[in-house]
Amino acid sequence: MKRQRIADLGLSRRSFVGGLLGAGYGVVGANAQEIDPSTGLPVYGNTQQGRAPDVGVYQIDPNADNRRNISSFRSRHWSDFFSNIGVGVVLADVSSKALHYWNADETIHRIYPCSIPVSEDLTKRGLTEIVRKAKNPPWTPTPDMRRRNPDLPQRVEGGDPENPLGPYGLYLSWPAYLIHGTHDTRKIGRRSSNGCYGLFNEHITELYGMAEVGTQVAVF
């Protein structure tokens, strides 16, 4: 039964790991080090791709141990956090850098690799829900981001290549927190966001079509 359930996910361990490697989970080549003005942390990569802090850079040390515990991706179930499934459940597993989704009747279960916040200070854990959905969401830096970097734009419209939110956004009841896409696939599977959870654009497109407003979310 367990083996069949995993097969039904449409995401084998091999394809999942392959996707992570394709996203840049492996060894990163040498790049000029800079400091991200929005976080104060070292960044690596081509920072000329965009002015928005989440575009064109990834905020990790390429010499760090980036091994992942693949066996942990399926270790939690929605019932560990909620008494009923409601219209659906999303689990954001910070330690595994993976996001789970179940629909209301559990005929669909997806696991997506995701980006996570760059630091514990920016990581909010607990129970929330999806309160709004948006196609081509605009990006407005939060007051904290603007204090760290006054040069940030006031707003970047949806669809702009410098917008770090990608094609779709799922807004949580926590202000300024959402699940969204990204145009920089190197961010997936890494500490690389200012608090949100980023997915490959094809994955957020699929999740956007399935997850309803009112979907329960647990971040742990």
Higher pLDDT residue, 16 or 109?
109
CA distance 81 to 126: 9
At 69 the pLDDT is: 43
CATH of the domain at 154: 2.40.440.10
Residues labelled catalytic = 180, 196
For residue 99, give the nearest of 108, 89, 107 by alpha carbon. 89
Q: How many CB atoms lie within 10 A of CB 9?
A: 15
CA distance 216 to 17: 27
Question: Which of 150-154, 160-164, 171-175 has the largest mean confidence?
Answer: 171-175
Distance of CA 38 to the CA centre of its chain: 18
The b-or-e profile of 87-114 (16+ CB within 10 A means b, else e) is ebbbbbbbebbbbbbbbeeeeebbbbbb
Average pLDDT value for residue range 68-88? 78
For residue 99, give the nearest of 11, 4, 213, 194 by alpha carbon. 11
Average pLDDT value for residue range 142-168? 88
Q: Give the domain range for residue 51.
A: 2-219
pLDDT tens for each residue of 192-204: 888 999 999 999 9
CA distance 192 to 170: 18
pLDDT class of 141 with cuts at 50, 70, 90: confident
CA distance 84 to 202: 28
Average pLDDT value for residue range 74-91? 93
79 pLDDT more than 70:
yes
- Number of domains present in the structure of the chain: 1
Average pLDDT value for residue range 137-143? 89
Quickly list DSSP for the chain.
-HHHHHHHTT--HHHHHHHHIIIIISPPPP---EE-TTT-SEEBS-GGG-SSTTSS-B-S-TTS-----GGGGGS--GGGT-SS-TTEEEEEETTTTEEEEEETTSS-EEEEE--EESSGGG---EEEEEEEEEES--B---HHHHHH-TTS-S-B-TT-TT-TT-SEEEEESSTT-EEE--S-GGGTTSEEESS-EE--HHHHHHHHHHPPTT-EEEE-
